[in-house]
Structure 1
């Protein structure tokens, strides 16, 4: 299989996954593998979750993916120095030979997910090999690019999905590998059990890479990191290590992902002001109930129209049934109907832009939080408004992506997401 860089004018067919020498924690040099892992950088709830992870172990991966210093330059320099020091001290050590990695996650409710971690050739959008489904925020791409340049590393894999079929041979290699003793096994505090194996046998590697070359992938989690890979690839003459980026590929025909919503925290908009602006434009009902019951009401309402839960004042407010004329005036008409009726589309085009007049790119005004309870709690703490969303179906996401239509940023949360800190990629290996 050809893994040359992007300057080569050969016809590309599909995913080009390459073995690499993973950098992993030495379990004898850290308190526990669970204590040095972290959720992906954009899932960590700040500052509470960040402080908790930093306190869990002095070598927690969060010190690399979310370094803390007064300026961006100082943060990135600190991450680079920390990575260099941990490698020199043997905290992080490189596996002896290149390989792909089988990664497994299980929870206590019967979920089992397995996928393959490797370095993927960074393709151009025109090739339609890797399909994004969400827009990105330029300042976040710039931030991740600065960190990757400073560390010369891919510190955490992004999550891609593909749809296998009856001829897919990767599944056999994955299942057979998972019957062997793992390189590592740990259970994180969220109850997920993680196991990792390496694939180094040349026949198995060829089987996987040849099979994946027939497929395209959907970005499930990591749009900003994929955009960062593309930016860094463009900056470096090919061939170079920047032609590839670290990914986890999951066959969702075999291991379906869970799709959850990503919620919004509106920092400078109190709930009473948010509700006042909705009068005559949406139906609003107060729900004096628990969070699970309120989410059930949201799910029921979302079957009939766009629907949201507002919180932050000690109760919940179900917002649904928008005025059709309002939607006709505010939602762009140049996209497919499936896009125009998305809750995220109406939230951004109608609520944020037209009614509440909030700049969606401004961290001072809007935070994107994956955890539902944490979103409500932080809104109550800082006097803002939590906007809780109902998730969309994976089939709809994939359909729009194949049409080349991107959803509003932070529209979906696929999971379970890979834990950060189990295997890293440094570009000098």
Structure 2
């Protein structure tokens, strides 16, 4: 059976949704960093901070056939929902309560993980099998009718989500909204909008990926989203908004209105959340966004997962015996349609009486993309159906469902320029001495006794250059053999792509110099922290490869040309905090 035609937005669409939020006294304690920045030690600390921390949903801790390994605690009494007052918090730690032993690692303050979890969570090794498509084609070629059985971990996440909704730990907002989200702290201020972004094919040049994805993490997140029928954490999108009307409204709301939530997390940031529910204001936002392009800054694997899930759900809706109004295929895994808690009965369906307050205008001309400066040439044909109507919780032929959208934070990079940091590699089992000796035939090598001296030298030399660190100090690689380098770089990529340090690492250093591939089985990932990378290298008898951040203009140019930088090339920040607002398909 062929894949049914998917609804195609004719521009950048950010639809309001009924957010699901924690009704606890201290919201910071139930939040977490994004799932791929959490080590096992961090899981312990997060569960220590609050038994209902969102990490129990995004990285469930149970093992196959033994749900008891995830601690179950009586929920904190919910805050009254009727008035939903402003909540202010600061994160503190209590006596450990989690029932599992953390892996050795990382830091206790939620610093970037010194493990490979940034590419594939260890507990997910038994999850759904990997899609068979090449990694960069996962969203388009994975069979939409193959529903992989979820793991016990994700079944536990689904049960936990239902329990928390039933008990009032999680409570849906009464009306659909776009959410203004602010992160502030020392030298940090970022504001944006959280909503349902309409899903598009990269060929449409509306939402631009800039990194390849890998099959394992997509299968992992697909198992979680399919089982929970929810988007539990937003992806991070950037657009060049030129301080337009959407940004002006965001700043006005942040300056003049009372926030729904104020949370002070232990990384020194303050997070605030407001709801925009006025249909006229939502229309203003979408009119401003409609002709713009967005770059995926963080969340490539989750965006790819959104699109795989979209194809699966539409295929399921077209199966014989499944009516348009039927939701029976999800009854076993969706939250209840209505709940009763301490605050009384709650209607949790968004369907009744909902109007399309956030539809963009149609017929906008093709314009230069603000992010890239290049025209969007691959646009849907005039007779292609466009995404205009809100979800009713199920998909009909040619219609839309909640899986035609994905939870996203959208930030105007003109008003709030992103912080782009490097992601470092660690190769366990490759001692620094051996890595250096192999590199000597291809690179000029300088020797340093300590990491600090090596880092200072790295900052003073032109690209391409890499700092190796491990047992015995640091080694700076510069001035590669030009003939061997040129021979290693793929001729079907642009000169700009071939000049990126992550491209040279992936195509030349790892396979040619060291005889290995840059994949999640061989190479460990460490975000930002050079000292953490060096420690991990020493602990694993390996070598850390320290890189400088890519230039933002290079990333944008590569994306504009339809190329993808190698995996884990960029770390844009500040990343949205997980747990401030969730999205479930039944409530959306």
Question: Is residue 242–residue 412 contact of structure 2 (8 Å, CA) maintained in 1?
Answer: no
1:154·1:424 contact (CA, 8 Å) conserved in 2? Answer: yes
Secondary structure in structure 1 of the residue aligned to 2:36? coil
Q: Distance in 1 between matches of 2:445 and 2:49?
A: 43
CA deviations 1:341-372 (Å, max 9, x no partner) are 11000101111122222232233x21222141
**Structure 2 CA distance for aligned equivalents of residues 185 and 256 of structure 1:** 23
Q: Could you tell me how far apart the structure 2 residues matched to 1:310 and 1:60 are?
A: 37
In the alignment, is the contact (CA less than 8 A) between 1:102 and 1:198 conserved in 2? yes
Q: Is 2:34 aligned against 1:40? A: yes
Q: TM-score of the superposition, structure 1-length normalised?
A: 0.92
Mapping of 1:212-223 within 5 angstroms? 212-223=289-300
After superposition, residues 195-214 of structure 1 pair within 5 angstroms as 195-214=272-291
> Which of 444, 451, 464 in structure 2 is aligned with 1:283?
444
Q: What residue in structure 2 maps to residue 353 of structure 1?
A: 511
User: Which residue of structure 2 lines up, in the alignment, with residue 81 of structure 1?
Assistant: 159
Are 1:298 and 2:458 counterparts? yes
Q: CA deviation at 1:87?
A: 1.5
Instruction: Tell me, yes or no, if structure 1 residue 7 matches structure 2 residue 165.
Output: no
Structure 2 residue runs of 5 or longer lacking an equivalent are: 64-125, 128-150, 315-394
CA contact (8 A) 2:432 2:472 kept: no
Give the corresponding residue for 1:153: 230
8 Å contact kept, 1:314–1:380: no
Q: Map 1:16-415 onto structure 2 (within 5 A).
A: 16-28=13-25, 32-44=26-38, 46-70=39-63, 71-72=126-127, 73-109=151-187, 111-165=188-242, 168-179=244-255, 180-237=257-314, 238=395, 239-291=400-452, 293-301=453-461, 304-313=462-471, 315-363=473-521, 365-372=522-529, 373-415=531-573
In structure 2, the CA distance between the partners of 1:145 and 1:389, relative to structure 1 (3 Å rule), is same
Deviation at 1:6, TM superposition (A): 6.3
Report deviation, 1:56.
2.2
Are 2:276 and 2:282, in contact at CA under 8 Å, matched by a contact in 1?
yes
Q: Secondary structure at the match of 1:24?
A: strand
Q: For 1:300, what is the secondary structure of its paired residue?
A: coil
Q: Cα–Cα, structure 1 residues 297 and 54, in superposed 2: closer, same or farther, change >3 Å?
A: farther
- Show CA shifts across 1:152-177 (max 9, x none): 110100000000126x2101210111
Distance 2:162 2:276 in 1: 27
Structure 1 gap segments, 5+ residues each: none
Q: Within 1, Cα distance between the matches of 2:544 and 2:5?
A: 43
* CA–CA distance in structure 1, aligned partners of residues 62 and 24 of structure 2: 28
Aligned equivalents of 1:408 and 1:396: distance in 2? 13
Aligned length: 413
Once the two structures are overlaid, the 10-residue window that deviates more, 222-231 or 83-92, is 83-92
| CA RMSD, 1 decimal | 1.7
1:6·1:123 contact (CA, 8 Å) conserved in 2? no
Moved more, 401-410 or 272-281: 272-281
- Structure 2-normalised TM-score? 0.68
Cα gap change, 1:377 to 1:52, in 2 (>3 Å) = farther
Higher Rg? 2
